[in-house]
Structures are given as C-alpha cells and as structure tokens.
Amino acid sequence: MITVEEAEQLIASRLEPLPSETVSIENAAERVLMESLQADRDLPPFNRSTFDGIALSYGAIEQGQRAFPIVGTGFAGSPKLELTDPKTCVEIMTGAPLPDNADCVVKIEDLDIENGSARIKDGVSLSIGYGVHPQASDSAKGRTLLERGCRLSAKELSVAASIGKAALVVSKQPRISILTTGDELVAVEASPLPHQIRRSNDLALQTALQAAGYTNVSRSHIVDDLEETQHAVTSVLKRADVLILAGGVSKGKRDFLPEALEAAGVDKAFQWISQRPGKPLWFGDCKRDGRRTYVFALPGNPVSCFTCLHRYVLPALDRLCGKRPGEARYAKLASEFQFKPPLTLFLPVLLSSDSSGQSWAEPLPFNTSGDYISVARTQGFIELPKDEINFAKGAPFPFTPWSI
C-alpha cells in the first residue's frame, strides 16, 4: 500500500490540463476561467452620486450658505451636467454622474425643498466628497479584476459583465462517465429482493460532481460479468475524459474491473492506499488517439466511495481544468479521539463554530464503510494522520466539506 500523500503525487504527475474553449457569458457559470480579465475603463467611470439629493460645491457650505437654488436635475443614465455657479445646486438621483464643479451630495432626507430651493436642515454634518462614489475608486482602467484559474460563480460573472465580456475563455468541461458494478444492486424505483440493495453510489457521485461545477456526467450500471465489464470499460474509454468506477476493485472473486482495465490498456498507477475508509482505490490512465482518459476505480461501499471522490477525484478534476487551489480548511477536534490502526483516517464530523468564528469538529465515526445513514448527518470529514493514535481535544486537522 502507498500513503495518501504518495497517491496525491502520483495522480498529479499524470494529469494533463484540458484544452480551453470560448463560451458565452450566459453559459460560463461554474466554469474555470482560462484568461485574466482587466478593467476596460475606470470603475466607476465617473464621479457617481450614492443617493438621491442635491449636488453642490462644499466651499459654499464652508462660507456659511445653507440654502441653494436648484438649477437642474441629474439622472442616472443621463449625460453629466455642470455646476456653473457655486452658490447653486443640482438635484441628483442615485447613480447619476456628479456635475462638474460639484464635490458633495446632500441626502434628500436632510433637506427641506420648497419653491425651487433646497435648504440643508440644522445639525446635518457634511464634508468634501460626502455622498460621492469617486471615479476609478473601485478599479482603474487596465487593472486585473479576475485571475486565470478562478471558478466563475455569480459574483465573478457580474464583474465580467461589467467590463463587457460577452464571451469568456474557459476550460472545457471534462466528459465524465460513472460506471457502477454489482449483481446486488437494483434501480432506485425497484423493489429489492432480500439479498439486494438499491443503487445510490452513482446518483451520489453525479450529484456531487454537478454541485462542484462538473455537469457533463453520464452514468450506467453493469452486472458482475467479466465479458460485460470488459465491453463497458472499453466503450466508455473511447468517449470519456474521466471514468469513475464504483465497486469491483478489491480482491473478491467477481471483482473484474482490474482485469478489464488492464486488458483495455489502462496503465495502473496504484490500487491500495493506507487509509480508512477507501483502502482499495485504483487509479490509472490511458492514451487513445492523442487523448488521455483518467480512471478512478472507487470502493463500492458508500462511505468509502463518497469520501474518495472528495479527497482525490474532485481535486484532480480541478487540476485538469486549471482551477487555482483554494486555501486549506481546518477544524479543531471538539473532543478527544483515538484511532489505533496505522492508517490515515478520514473521520466524518459534525461541524459547529463558536462566537470567535473557530470551527469545531465533533467526531461521528461510521459504523462500517457502508453506513451512509450516519454520514448523512455530517458536514464533511477531518483527516487524521497515520502516525498518531491519540488525538487531543482542540487539535486542528484538515477539513474537507461534502459540499463546495
């Protein structure tokens, strides 16, 4: 068996970034940006009023003036006006350009307006620049606003739209195929016999992948038959960038996947990792027609399968798509915990936080690696190193959430 760290390194050493493509901004949600984006002009592009009121010259207020004749109205979306007389004012709306020679905005609720004149109420405190969103204060023209490698959520797409990027260069969506195996598995809507269980792994994998932004996912199921397994593997390898298998990778008499993968020309990197859950995890790749396909054969037990997806597959997909790695998350153990086997433990936890913002992880050990019921109550898992047995309350450990 290899260590968790060795498995990470072997996976990373084989990954080749996917090519990029240009898509409309409407179709770019959750894709990985493959270009940096710069401001095409100052943001905001003019001195902008932050609320409704009047725009005036603060110098007049300093000289004691409190009432100002209104000589015009500035609207959002209308050309900028000019304040030619510093003793007058312009009525102004939120978002409108500040008139030339004006440097202060007074809120409408701080005014008494009557007969075309605006009087500032007693006790209202003002200053130069009050109520003004200055030109280029958000960003100067040419400044990089979004870096290559970020995932495009709503806030990033808002930035892209503000600088006129109707089309964006993004990483191609990997074509992902999920293939589950097992005679004991039946469809969700079926009535299982006493010796059967309903399929859940493939749906859980697909849902987690889509939630992480990987939407080009298909799934299928095969029974424990060598010939059918070989045919299914060969067929999927022709069309997928990533093949995720669930079950059939251990040492059982009907675990045909390792043999089928070898026959299909997939080069195995490893098959066993010193971890719990998920010891039998198979990874390899093959190259056909100049295109590389990566294969992750995950354990069939639900907890092992789901954990290995988050610990290995999702980070590998992020690498393939050029996504910049995020900062590692940590949580402190909320109670003492002991684990004797010399294995890295991925321990499901109930996450909470205190008034200081510190995250605390309460261990919720699973009954077996098939105990998806208890794991459903948790928010993720912490990673406990294999070279320790006793883990103290308050000790921090890496935390991986089930959802992004």
Q: What pLDDT was estimated at residue 150?
A: 97
Q: Which domain holds residue 185?
A: 4-19+173-320
Is residue 309 included in any domain, yes or no? yes
> In the predicted model, is pLDDT for residue 184 greater than 80?
no
Same structural domain for residues 262 and 193? yes
Is residue 397 included in any domain, yes or no? yes
Same structural domain for residues 276 and 199? yes
Q: The domain that contains 397 carries what CATH number? A: 2.40.340.10
Is residue 85 included in any domain, yes or no? yes
Q: The domain that contains 177 carries what CATH number? A: 3.40.980.10
Mean pLDDT of 139-143: 98
Same structural domain for residues 166 and 107? no
Is residue 30 included in any domain, yes or no? yes
Q: What pLDDT was estimated at residue 255?
A: 75
> In the predicted model, is pLDDT for residue 69 greater than 80?
yes
DSSP assignments along 61-127, one per residue = HHTT--EEEEEEEE-TTSPP-B--STT-EEEE-TTPBPPBT--EEEEGGGEEEETTEEEEPTT----
Is residue 197 included in any domain, yes or no? yes
- Domain end marker among 78, 107, 133: 133
Same structural domain for residues 244 and 127? no
Report the number of distinct structural domains present in the chain.
Answer: 4
User: Of 94, 97, 99, 69, which is closest to residue 81 (Cα–Cα)?
Assistant: 99
Q: What pLDDT was estimated at residue 306?
A: 93
- Domain end marker among 288, 320, 352: 320
Is residue 325 included in any domain, yes or no? no
Per-residue pLDDT band at 226 (split at 50, 70, 90): confident
> How is residue 174 written in tokens?
């990997």
Per-residue pLDDT band at 403 (split at 50, 70, 90): confident
Mean pLDDT of 65-82: 97
Same structural domain for residues 206 and 87? no
Q: What pLDDT was estimated at residue 250?
A: 62
Q: What pLDDT was estimated at residue 335?
A: 96
Mean pLDDT score of the chain, rounded to an integer?
A: 93
Q: The domain that contains 82 carries what CATH number? A: 2.170.190.11
Same structural domain for residues 98 and 63? yes
- Domain end marker among 133, 163, 188: 133
**Least reliable range by pLDDT among 136-140, 289-293, 347-351:** 289-293
Q: What pLDDT was estimated at residue 85?
A: 97
The type of residue at 60 is: A
Is residue 104 included in any domain, yes or no? yes
Same structural domain for residues 273 and 228? yes
More reliable by pLDDT, 203 or 65? 65
More reliable by pLDDT, 290 or 296? 296
Same structural domain for residues 189 and 297? yes
> In the predicted model, is pLDDT for residue 97 greater than 90?
yes
Q: The domain that contains 153 carries what CATH number? A: 3.90.105
Same structural domain for residues 216 and 313? yes
Q: What pLDDT was estimated at residue 247?
A: 78
Q: What pLDDT was estimated at residue 368?
A: 64
* CB neighbours of residue 97 within 10 Å: 23
More reliable by pLDDT, 296 or 373? 296
Same structural domain for residues 281 and 392? no
Could you give the percent of the chain with pLDDT greater than 90? 80
Q: What pLDDT was estimated at residue 227?
A: 87
Mean pLDDT of 147-167: 97
Is residue 96 included in any domain, yes or no? yes
| Cβ atoms of residues 268 and 284 within 8 Å | yes
Using one digit for the tens of pLDDT, what is the confidence trace for 332-375?
A: 999 999 999 999 999 999 999 999 999 999 999 877 665 677 78
User: Of 275, 280, 318, which is closest to residue 296 (Cα–Cα)?
Assistant: 280
More reliable by pLDDT, 203 or 26? 26
Same structural domain for residues 219 and 297? yes
> pTM, whole model, 2 decimals?
0.88
**Least reliable range by pLDDT among 127-131, 223-227, 319-323, 388-392:** 223-227
Q: Which residues of 217-228 are buried (b: 16+ CB within 10 A; e: fewer)?
A: bebebbebeeee
Same structural domain for residues 182 and 219? yes
Per-residue pLDDT band at 51 (split at 50, 70, 90): very high
